[in-house]
Amino acid sequence: MKKWIDGARPRTLPAAIAPVLVGTSLIGRTSVAFNWLNAVLALLVSLLLQIGVNYANDYSDGIRGTDEVRVGPVRLTASGLATPRAVRNAAFLTFFLAAVCGGVLALRTSLLLIIVGAIAILAAWGYTGTSKPYGYMGFGDISVFIFFGVVATMGSYFAQSEVVSASALLISIPMGALACAILSINNLRDRPKDAEVGKKTVAVRLGDRRARILFLGLLIIAHLASIAALFISPWVLLTLLPLPLTFSIAKSVLRGAVGIELIPLLGKIGRLQMLFALLLTLAFII
């Protein structure tokens, strides 16, 4: 069981939890009654999609040989800890469970969520799982921003209010930016190997220095977008409290941390995203 937990890459899960927490808490600024069941279903969908895409990437990169020489989280397929078929089936099972939870949520709110969910699952598999995976062409960051930023945040708010909100769109930006920051660290860590095997991530396309500058830009966007939500609540200024952590992470990246030196930063960015989510949640419910 431990290998499957490790293969799910727990350090990436804050990227699934944070947007749901923020989108759900925004309901506190409205007169709509909070619905616990819808909130739990939205969280399960987000978590299951994140775990599913982690297994799917493990399977697809493993059978392509992309993960043969890697640092970082355990790779089930490439390491031989599980057969490719078992990892693929784990991904399919997780996506199926996400679809079930999403289907129940759609029946309780709007059937449009079924379409959104289907697109999200296709995007999760298409990241590395097709003959022409878009993750190998440098479009993974855009997908992460959309699905683990905009869709997860706005979808969680919609699950409570059944309304598409400009405020929810705004607060989805820091969530998406920080989710992309997690991916950016992964891509920086794997950049030399990715370049060798033809995986043209954003880090490979930009080169080392510009990829680090882009990472810094993502952190800045997260802070600026949060401050821009002052019209929702003045308490969003609480998101300035994690600035020391932001500076610490940025300093490590800009100083040229590479390989295994970048691994601890994944946990730090996950904590930063959760801090943002908790502080925004507090701001919206005060």
The C-alpha atoms of residue 274 and residue 179 are separated, in whole angstroms, by 11
Q: Which residues contact 9 (CB under 8 A, 6 or more apart)?
A: 51, 54, 73
Question: 216, 250 in Cβ contact below 8 A?
Answer: yes
The tens digit of pLDDT for each residue in 116-163 reads 999 999 998 988 877 788 988 889 899 999 999 999 999 999 999 999
Q: Give the range of the structural domain holding residue 256, as residue numbers without chain letter.
A: 2-285
Our count of domains for the chain comes to 1
Return the biggest CA–CA distance within the chain.
55
Name the pTM for this structure. Answer: 0.90
CA atoms within 13 A on the CB side of 23: 36
The tens digit of pLDDT for each residue in 181-208 reads 999 998 998 888 888 888 889 999 999 8
Is 80 exceeded by the pLDDT of residue 72? no
What sign for the dihedral angle of Cα 168, 171, 177, 183? negative
What integer pLDDT is reported at residue 22 of this predicted model?
Answer: 96
End-to-end Cα separation, the chain, in angstroms: 41
